[in-house]
Structure 1
Amino acid sequence: MQRRLLSLLFVAIAAVLGALAVYSIASGGRAMIIGIAAAGLALWMADLARKAWPRS
């Protein structure tokens, strides 16, 4: 049960970082750097969520 909750936490963090990446990239300018970094972190969190999900 705890691994599933940890996985859901990682999914929530990935979703927030993904939304931040989209908003930052859409803003343009210097915010592009923040958007690229947030996109990378979102992918990393999504991968952690995939790995943490319990296998049956």
Structure 2
Amino acid sequence: MRNRKQHIAILVAVWIVCTTIGPVSSSIQYTRETMPGAQYYDGKKLNIPISK
């Protein structure tokens, strides 16, 4: 019985997170400059620095 309650609680938590984050992430307007990783792209290839 306890496993079923935990399973339902996890499903509810995941549903809440998905319904909250979904609209927020879709409202972000990306451009070439603001896209994640854009600072590493020179127009032809990715130049990602590797540090020690």
TM-score scaled by length of structure 1 = 0.46
Larger Rg: 2
The structure where helix makes up a greater share of residues is: 1
Q: Which has the higher contact order (CA 8 A, sep 6+)?
A: 1
